[in-house]
A and B are shown apart, each in its own frame.
Chain A
Amino acid sequence: MLRHINQFASPKNFYALSCKLVHYFGGACLLLFVAGVFGGLLFSPPDYQQGESVRIIYVHVPSAWMSLFVYIVMAGAGTIGLIWRIKIMDVIARSSAPLGASFTFLALATGSLWGKPMWGAWWVWDARLTSELILLFLYLGYIALQSAIEDPRMAARAGAILALIGIINIPIIHFSVEWWSTLHQGPTVSKLDAPSIHIDMLIPLLLMALAYMCYFISAVLMRARCDLLALERNSAWVGELIGERSR
């Protein structure tokens, strides 16, 4: 079984597969983005309280969700790589980090841009915002650690440990609005009972969320491909691949 997975996850096969997947997900991502942005900017109604500024929701919420999701992916892939020694997983974990950092940055930036007109402040030190900022630091620390350790295998394993230590932060971010009285609002969509958002706004929001997800998958695969090429530059299959291409 394990051998089977390993073979499937051999760098060569993965490279070929990822080339295809990038195309599919890239295409889907583009379509969804167009639909979501048009839906969000043109077709969705303004909010009864927030007016037009509510349109920031279509970029803020997906970014924020992805910032958490990517961290889980990073820690999960890292752990799998750590335990079963699957190279591909290490590469995926490592390539997720810059994307996760970008999403976190976007969540912080769009949140601030939304907070200024709505709350009246760019920034407050409440639990949600603070823990999200710590998430950004965690991503940056992970990236710094990766670049500081030479040996890729060792870097991947060390990174996995760091990611696992930091994962405590994820539930804190998610539940902070319930545990503490924050300025940030409580859950809207992710409530278990009916979401308290009108369907006309929910649809573009979900479209955008899907678009972000497809974007993440294709972007992470692209990065992983680069890393793989660099890692395996001396192996036979890379030589053949490049040799064919340059001819």
Chain B
Amino acid sequence: MNRKRRNVVFAVCFIVAGMTIATTLALKAFRENLLYFYSPSQVQAGKAPQSRPFRIGGLVEEKSVVRNPDNLTVQFVLTDTMQTVTVVYDGILPDLFREGKGVVANGKLRSDGVFEAFEVLAKHDENYMPPEVADALAAANKPITVNSVVKPE
């Protein structure tokens, strides 16, 4: 019995130690950024890849959207409230594409610092409410709670 108990204790210690190390490592990893997309600040800081496609996410700056009347080309500015990046895109925008709302664009950085997107995805927030309520809130000048896209570094 004694030996058996010792074995069990040993096994439990082993597992607990292992789990602890694993979680520490995992937590450390989450402190680094495992990115699904880059923010404009990171792009401006030169942390984004130059030669190959990547994703960039941020808010569409108010009144920055310029549509070319001849074709579908659009140009707009992405911001994370600290830095901005200009994006050009040729295609149909998703329904949730609004000024002041979050988007994720997939494409390449041109040498002139403009981001050429081949896909634009709308990132929406976690707020759900009827239009009237939203209007009322807007009228009361209350900001609709923080948009999760913006995570300034």
Direct contact of A and B (CB under 8 A): yes
Q: A48-B134, A124-B121 are in contact. Are A118 and B128 (CB under 8 A)?
A: no
Q: A118-B95, A119-B96, A120-B94 are in contact. Are A49 and B124 (CB under 8 A)?
A: yes
Secondary structure class of chain B's binding surface, majority of residues: loop
Q: How far does the alpha carbon of A48 sit from the alpha carbon of B135 in the complex, in Å?
A: 9
A119 touches B122 (CB 8 A): yes
Which residue of A182, A187, A198 is within 8 Å of B36 (Cβ)? A182
| Interface range, A side | 20 to 34
Is the C-beta of B129 less than 8 angstroms from some C-beta in chain A? yes
B26 to chain A, nearest CB (A): 9
Which residue of A50, A187, A200 is within 8 Å of B124 (Cβ)? A50
Is the C-beta of A26 less than 8 angstroms from some C-beta in chain B? no
Task: Among A51, A57, A119, A197, find the residue whose CB has the most chain B CB atoms closer than 10 A.
Answer: A119
- Count A/B pairs, Cβ under 8 Å: 98
B121 touches A183 (CB 8 A): yes
B119 touches A188 (CB 8 A): no
Is the C-beta of A98 less than 8 angstroms from some C-beta in chain B? no
B35 touches A181 (CB 8 A): yes
A119 touches B121 (CB 8 A): yes
Identify the closest chain A residue to B138 (Cβ): A48
Q: How far does the alpha carbon of A130 sit from the alpha carbon of B94 in the complex, in Å?
A: 22
A198 touches B129 (CB 8 A): yes
B96 touches A188 (CB 8 A): no
Is the C-beta of A232 less than 8 angstroms from some C-beta in chain B? no
Is the C-beta of B62 less than 8 angstroms from some C-beta in chain A? no
B101 to chain A: which residues have CB within 8 Å? 49
Task: Among A45, A183, A197, find the residue whose CB has the most chain B CB atoms closer than 10 A.
Answer: A183
B128 touches A188 (CB 8 A): yes
Is the C-beta of B78 less than 8 angstroms from some C-beta in chain A? no
Contact pattern, B 72-110, Cβ under 8 Å of A = 1, otherwise 0: 000000000000000000001111111001001000000
Identify the closest chain B residue to A118 (Cβ): B96
Is the C-beta of B54 less than 8 angstroms from some C-beta in chain A? no
Q: A118-B94, A180-B34 are in contact. Are A46 and B122 (CB under 8 A)?
A: no
